[in-house]
Amino acid sequence: MIFAFLIQCAVSFVSVVAFAVLFHAPRQEWAWCGLTGMAGWAAYWLLVQMEQGVVTASLVAAVVLALLSRILAVVRRCPMTVFIMGGIFPLVPGAGIYYTVYYFIMGEEGQCLAKGVETLKIAAAIAIGIVLVLALPGALFQPLGCRSRKTR
Amino acid sequence: MAQQEQVARLAADAAQLLLESGGEIYRVQQTIEHIGRAYGAPDIHAYVVTNAIFVSLEKNEGGSVNEMRYVRTRSVHLSRVMAVNALSRRIAGGAVSLEQAQKELEDVRSLPASAVWLQVFACGVGTACFAYLFGGTAWDAFAAFWVGLVLQPFVLFLGKNGAGQFISNTLCAVLVAMASVLMMQMMRLVGVTCSLDKIIIGGIIPLVPGIALTNAIRDVANSDYVSGTIRAAEALLIAVSIALGVGFVLKLCALIPGVVL
């Protein structure tokens, strides 16, 4: 279990760094992008393992991802966009889109509808998770910035 | 006064660069206002939507300077977002002269993209990782790696030739699905069974509307409902175009005898 978890972390880290490269993120932020994405995926994976369902897992993962992005934005003094854009890709329901089409083509309407609704739910869960974190006042994160500036 | 015209132009240029590179509406609007205020033009007004920027600056002697930008193409470039943001902060701090700001903005515009070989490799690694994360085996990841290597040059080619987003996403999805079917058949020839669904899922992740979705959420969260709606529609349209491309190939393969999905 722990071994599997570590592999999941490592692979998600690499995948998000790959996306940071694709979006031309500055080199010194690559590792931080990977870390943010990894944290989101780790939360998602753990919750799915605990059989909490993919929608709940996506919601929690989105909160973790957005929170870490906001913290890093202050600490690294860099727009939050840089961290959140790569990190969101493991959560976006790519598999959901695929299975919806697959069942659609195969003529299994019931399964298709179920997957389609699930895909929409996941997208909504991600949206809600991120909005929750964005709603937090900026003042909460300010002390982090001051501390990092002093240590520099 | 010529200076105020330059200020309006600088603000609009910075805003355009930011919007093109994937900055959210609120940030773009803030940048315009910061630049205006820093160069002694507090009466600067900005309205920004997903693909347009309007800047109006009231002159001291009456009348106004107007700048408008239409943002046709967008390609995410996070280094530029970061650099424009840093520049706008320094401008707001009052440390940069107008001429220097113009020059530095040009530098930001010419910030290099990731090298092409690196992008292609990153795309391959990304698709391989995602094929694994979504439950594939190491062999599925291996197959997806090659799909990713084929995909990125095609994405770059379409981008260079200015294909519309809907069409280019559909074509990319067709390519991913076809390459995946091909990889699966080739792996079968050497005696390895792959699951097609994991390879395709890994392959479509670079196409999935992650950016459109993020920006839609952020714009709506900042009460920029017009832009948020445009982005949400874009996200939905991208998802549909991917579905269309993959579905087309799946249906085609189901018709060919001897191909097992």
Most confident of A26-30, A64-68, B185-189, B249-253: A64-68
| Cβ-based contacts of B27 with chain A (< 8 Å) | 79, 81
Query: pLDDT value at position B40?
Result: 84
Task: Say whether pLDDT at B57 is over 60.
Answer: yes
Mean pLDDT over the full length of chain A: 89
Local structure of residue A135 (DSSP, 8 states): T
B76, B109, B142 - which closes a domain: B109
Q: Which position has the token pair 């930008």?
A: B69
Instruction: Give residue B261's pLDDT.
Output: 62
Distance from CA of B241 to the nearest CA of A (A): 10
Distances (CA, A) of A93 to A89, A122, B161: 8, 7, 29
Residues B180 and B64 in one domain: no
pLDDT over threshold 70, residue B1: no
In contact, A90 and B133? CB cutoff 8 Å: yes
* Cβ <8 Å between A127 and B216: yes
pLDDT more than 70, % of chain A: 95
pLDDT tens digit sequence for B208-217 = 888 888 889 9
Place of tokens 């981008």: B159
Same domain, B120 and B104: no
* pLDDT computed for residue A151 by the predictor: 39
Residues of chain B with C-beta less than 8 angstroms from the C-beta of A101: 243, 246-247, 250
Which residues does chain A have within 8 Å of residue B82's beta carbon, measured at their own beta carbons? 25-26, 29, 78-79, 82
The pLDDT of residue A144: 78
Partner-chain contact A15 B246, CB within 8 Å = no
How near does any CA of chain B get to the CA of A124, in Å?
A: 10
d(CA B86, CA B107): 13
Q: Which residue of B has its CA nearest to A10?
A: B129
Interchain contact, A90 vs B79, CB within 8 Å: no
Is residue B22, in this structure, part of any structural domain at all?
Answer: yes
Residue B71 has pLDDT above 50, yes or no: yes
A-chain CB neighbours of B79 within 8 Å are 24-26
Residue A122, pLDDT > 80, answer yes
Q: Which of A9, A63, A98 is most worth mutating to test chain B (most B CB atoms within 10 A of its CB)? A: A98
State what percent of residues in chain B have pLDDT above 70. Answer: 98
Mark yes or no for CB contact B218/A130 under 8 Å.
yes
Flag whether A96 is in a domain.
no
Instruction: Looking at the structure, tell me whether residues B99 and B211 fall in a common domain.
Output: no
Give the pLDDT confidence of B139-163 residue by residue, as tens digits. 999 999 999 999 999 999 998 887 7
Domain assignment present for residue B67? The answer is yes
Mutation test of the interface with chain A: which of B109, B127, B152, B208, choosing the one with the most A Cβ atoms within 10 A? B208
> What domain count does chain B have?
2
pLDDT given at position B260:
64
A81/B81 touch (CB, cutoff 8 Å), yes or no: yes
Helix B78-92 and helix B2-20, axial crossing angle in degrees, nearest 10: 150
Residue B134, domain member (yes or no): yes
A:B CB pairs within 8 Å: 149
- Answer yes or no: is A135 within a domain: yes
- Is A114 within a domain? no
Using CA atoms, how far residue B99 sits from B39, B179, B184, in Å, is 11, 51, 58
Residues B79 and B142 in one domain: no
- Least confident segment among A20-24, A142-146, B207-211: A142-146
Overall domain count for chain A: 1
The ipTM (two decimal places) reads 0.88
Structural domain contains residue B260? no
B15 is a domain residue? yes
Say if B203 falls within a structural domain.
yes
pLDDT, one tens digit per residue, over A24-82 is 999 899 999 999 999 999 999 999 999 889 999 999 999 999 999 999 999 988 888 89
> Which residue in A has a C-alpha nearest to residue B242's C-alpha?
A97
Are B26 and B68 members of one domain? yes
Domain that holds residue A78: 2-90+125-151
Q: Residue B68: enclosing H or E segment and its boundaries?
A: strand B64-70
Residues B47 and B141 in one domain: no
Q: Rounded to an integer, what distance in angstroms lies between the CA atom of residue B102 and that of residue B11? A: 10
For A134, the closest chain B residue by CA position comes to B221
Pair B135, B220 in one domain: yes
Contact check, Cβ <8 Å, B22/A22? no
Report d(CA A139, CA B162) in Å as an integer: 43
- Same domain? For B126 and B247 the reply is yes
Nearest CB partner across the interface for A79, out of B27, B134, B213: B27
Confidence at A147, pLDDT banded by 50, 70, 90: low
Q: Is the pTM of this model over 0.80?
A: yes
Please provide residue B113's backbone torsions phi and psi, each rounded to the nearest 5 degrees. -80, 165
Q: Is residue A111 one of the residues assigned to a domain?
A: no
Does residue B90 have a pLDDT over 70? yes
Residue B261 included in any domain:
no
pLDDT grade for B61, boundaries at 50, 70 and 90: confident
Q: Which of B73, B94, B109 is where one domain is finished? A: B109
pLDDT digits 0-9 by tens, A83-108: 998 899 999 888 898 899 889 888 89
Q: Which of A101, A128, A131 to mutate to test the interface with B (most CBs of B within 10 A)?
A: A101
Return the pLDDT at A107: 87
| Yes or no, beta carbons of A18 and B118 under 8 Å apart | no
Q: What is the mean pLDDT of residues B178-195?
A: 89
What is the model's pLDDT at position A152? 35
Which of B214, B223, B224 is the best mutation test for A, with the most CBs of A within 10 A? B214
Is residue B13, in this structure, part of any structural domain at all?
A: yes
Distance between CA A56 and CA A129 in Å, rounded? 10
Q: Which of B84, B109, B134 is the last residue of a domain?
A: B109
- Give the domain extent around B21: 2-109
Q: Can you tell me whether residue B247 is helix, strand or coil? A: helix
Do residues B148 and B240 share a domain? yes
pLDDT tens, residue by residue, A109-120:
999 999 999 999
